[in-house]
Amino acid sequence: MVPFLYEVFVMLGVPDELRMPLCAGTSSITSFTSHRKTNAVNFDLLRLWSVPIIAGVVGGTVLARYAPAAVFKTVFVLVALLTAVRLIFRDRFPTLGQDVPRRLRLPYGLTIGLSASLMELAAASCQT
């Protein structure tokens, strides 16, 4: 979705410095909306994880401002690889959710938000 939005914003004349944040935000909102329509959003879980994940996204956004392109590529490859391993060995990994101990919610949430924001920007930077 991000590469498509990027091209649309180019055609609309959106300034360079606004394009990527606008792409990432629009893509995230679109994804949430489509998941909500199919009842695939657990709002209790969303409330539980929202603060640490949002903090991670903010951290990723700040990091993205100063990080070299290699950081985005590395994060993208690592998260894609970890996701593939998790899918292949699904029954060997715990499910993140309400069962995660309270003391681990902040580091997990920060990691989820940070990696999600950096992956989104990495995918988008492939178009530029």
For 34-56, what is each residue's pLDDT tens digit?
989 999 888 888 888 899 989 99
Element (H, E) at 54: helix 43-66
Tokens encoding 3: 């590469």
Q: Is 115 exposed, middle or buried (0-12, 13-18, 19+ CB in 10 A)?
A: buried
Name the least confident of 31-40, 53-62, 66-75, 92-101: 92-101
Q: Quick one: what percent of the chain has pLDDT higher than 90?
A: 12
Whether this model's pTM surpasses 0.75: no
Cβ–Cβ < 8 Å for 16, 125: no
